[in-house]
Structure 1
Amino acid sequence: MFRKLILSTILSTLVYSSPLKLNDKISNFSLTDQFDKIYTITSDVSTIVITFEKETLNSINDFLSKKEKDFLERNNAIFIANISCWPNIFTRMFTLPKLRDYKYSILLIYDEKSAKFLEVENKITVYSIENGIVKNIRYLNSIFELEEILK
């Protein structure tokens, strides 16, 4: 119950925000990861990788599983999975236990209304951030493209 209260409070700041676009300044916001740890995303982040579908989530997880534990941190990157459209029971019974097997943090969006990122179906969305400003938004078709960005 307490977790839901905290999560809803954190996510409420995102509910009325519009999606991040080019030249937008990112404001600090918080999300929880698969271990229920709260992360605050600040302007220090240089790359935000977002997935909206199970297939792209699995592809990114396959890619990151082959990297060192601190790969995302060394690249000033965060990985976000929007799981808001997945049934809650499915998420609790299957998705979260599987995600807890990974050695890196996957920040989770549980509420579709709070999603502040642009989506293109079957694509991986990547935001490039410089000094807290969105400088580029790319929609990737493959992990190979992601690997080029996160060298």
Structure 2
Amino acid sequence: MLKKLILSVIFINCLSAGTLKIDDKISNFSLTDQFDKIHTITCDISTIIVTFQKKTLMMVNDYLSSKSENFLEDHHAIFINNISSSPTIITKMFTLPKLRDYKYTILLIYDESNTKFEKQSDKITTYSLENGFIKNINFISSIDELDRVLK
């Protein structure tokens, strides 16, 4: 519980910046993964993948399950899943145990007021970065499109 409180305070600073847009510089921010381990995102990242719905989460999982365990690290990418719309009891009893079975790290957003990442219904949001600056934002709906982003 203390971890989540500390993380919330850190993340509030990021939220005040508003939604990320092209040419914005990402500031360092931290999120917990499915094992409650805190990860700090820095300018070294070149791709951010964000999902907001179970359908898009499953699409990314289908893609990443066919890749090596270090695929995201090797491609300087992170995967973020916004689970804020799920009731806490469902998250704790079903969602987190399922996410812990995945062989890769999934950073999680628990806060409903998070507006840092843009979303479109039934789409995966990807951010392409260079030296910490957002160069492109894509809303994708297929594994083939995701593969092109991560090449």
Q: TM-score range by the shorter chain?
A: over 0.9
Deviation of 1:115 after TM superposition, in Å, equals 3.6
TM-score, L = length of structure 1: 0.95
Deviation of 1:2 after TM superposition, in Å, equals 1.8
Partner residue in 2 for 1:48: 48
> Letter of the aligned partner of 2:27 in structure 1?
S
> Letter of the aligned partner of 1:72 in structure 2?
L
The whole-number CA distance in structure 1 between the counterparts of 2:82 and 2:17 is: 16
Deviation of 1:149 after TM superposition, in Å, equals 1.5
Partner residue in 2 for 1:20: 20
Secondary structure of 2:67's counterpart equals: coil
Q: Deviations over 1:69-90 (max 9, x none)?
A: 0000000000000111111111
Deviation of 1:9 after TM superposition, in Å, equals 2.0
Identity %: 61
Q: Is the 8 A contact 2:51 2:57 kept in 1?
A: yes
Deviation of 1:66 after TM superposition, in Å, equals 1.2
The whole-number CA distance in structure 1 between the counterparts of 2:115 and 2:84 is: 9
Partner residue in 1 for 2:86: 86
Deviation of 1:3 after TM superposition, in Å, equals 2.6
> Letter of the aligned partner of 2:110 in structure 1?
Y
Structure 1: runs of 5+ lacking an equivalent? none
Partner residue in 2 for 1:127: 127
Provide the aligned C-alpha RMSD in A: 1.1
Q: Deviations over 1:85-117 (max 9, x none)?
A: 111111111000000001110000000213411
The whole-number CA distance in structure 1 between the counterparts of 2:136 and 2:33 is: 25
The whole-number CA distance in structure 2 between the counterparts of 1:146 and 1:100 is: 22
Q: Deviations over 1:37-69 (max 9, x none)?
A: 111001100000000101000111111111100
Partner residue in 2 for 1:30: 30
Deviation of 1:137 after TM superposition, in Å, equals 0.3
The whole-number CA distance in structure 2 between the counterparts of 1:65 and 1:131 is: 28
> Letter of the aligned partner of 1:33 in structure 2?
D
State whether structure 2 residue 133 is matched by structure 1 residue 149. no
Range with bigger deviation, 21-30 or 4-13: 4-13
TM-score, L = length of structure 2: 0.95
> Letter of the aligned partner of 1:80 in structure 2?
I
> Letter of the aligned partner of 1:71 in structure 2?
F
